[in-house]
Amino acid sequence: MQKTLLILLGLLLFSSVQSQKKIKETIIALGSCGQESKPQPTLAMAASWKPDFFVFLGDNVYGDTYNMDTLQIKYQELANQPAFQKLKGSTRLIATWDDHDYGWNDIGRHYSKKDASKNIFLNFWEEPKESPRWTRDGIYTSYYYKVESKIIQFIVLDTRTFRDDLLPYPDSLPVKRPFFYQLDYLPHSSKDSTLLGDQQWRWLENELKQPADIRIICSSTQFGAAYNGYEAWANFPHEQDKMVQLIQKTKASGVLFISGDVHYGEISKRVYPGLYPLYDVTSSGITSTWLFATPNQYRIEGPIMDNHIARLRIQWRKDPLIIMEIVDIHQNVRVEYSISLSDLNFKS
């Protein structure tokens, strides 16, 4: 009898191990803010994971120029990086831009070289010639991938081409708590100002209506962070509200934001009435760092001030598990936060 029980127990354990092995996992790595002239061991680290995708979230080079020859040289420096070559050879690359690879620090729609910069961007990232990115303004786009019976949708935003100028923070205005540093910008109060522009908003509404299980919205600047006086969606609070209302209107489930720009890593969580929680995984530190992390009441993990890469590990269970991680340059998993896909659904 005892022997029979031991055999049954062994079979159960074996079955459990086998079932765990059968769980398919999709890995999405992400990063931003890499100086093309510096070694990039974080990209080599990401390549060693053999992720299914790597998303470059902007400031992929630091061009900061109106000279397109200079910008082209910067991209070539990135192309020559051994770590970048290793990563490119190991996974599918997805990219958007931010200010420094778009053209100039904190600039928006008034950058005079944006069309020429766009051509350099699309050529570097080897965008297929039949892609609509070539024929419309801006570089926003979407990708769909089927894993098991589920669909991953990447919604890649362009937060530069259509964005109105930011409002400078007046020197005469006192800096109030909780800020311990000089602020750069005020939030827009006028609803006439825009971050994405009418054309991109119409496209986005249609994308959110498409069938998908996980929708990863790729934004170069942070969506989930609180106002901090620097660049972020919080400078356009009416545009933030518009995004929330659009997700509600379209009943788009499975939305998760990823972002860059700030030179540190963190996870933010925003809770709105009538909507599931909106998470924003920020990965900003391929080579760049910053002296401090700004106040962020919505931060639930981090900040990670070392160079790092973030990754999403999606385990395709009956209710898929989404594991959000930030891994530093020393290969330490500094952040791990898990949710189930069902947590990103509207409650009936």
Give the residue-averaged pLDDT of 2-27.
Answer: 49
Location of structure tokens 């896909």: 341
Give the residue-averaged pLDDT of 163-180.
Answer: 94
Report whether pLDDT(15) > 70: no
pLDDT for 244: 98
Give the residue-averaged pLDDT of 84-102.
Answer: 98
Location of structure tokens 């093309």: 36
pLDDT for 9: 36
pLDDT for 148: 85
pLDDT for 22: 64
Percent of the chain at pLDDT > 70 equals: 93
Helix (H) or strand (E) holding 142: strand 141-147
311-348 pLDDT, tens per residue?
999 999 999 999 999 999 999 999 999 999 999 999 86
3-class SS shares of the chain: helix, strand, coil, % to 5? 30, 25, 45
CA R_g for the chain: 21
Helix (H) or strand (E) holding 60: none
Give the residue-averaged pLDDT of 56-84.
Answer: 98
Look at residues 106, 97, 83 and name the one whose alpha carbon lies nearest to residue 232.
Answer: 106
Report whether pLDDT(14) > 90: no
The CA distance from 219 to 280, in Å, is: 9
Give the residue-averaged pLDDT of 296-316.
Answer: 98
Helix (H) or strand (E) holding 57: none
Location of structure tokens 């599918």: 92
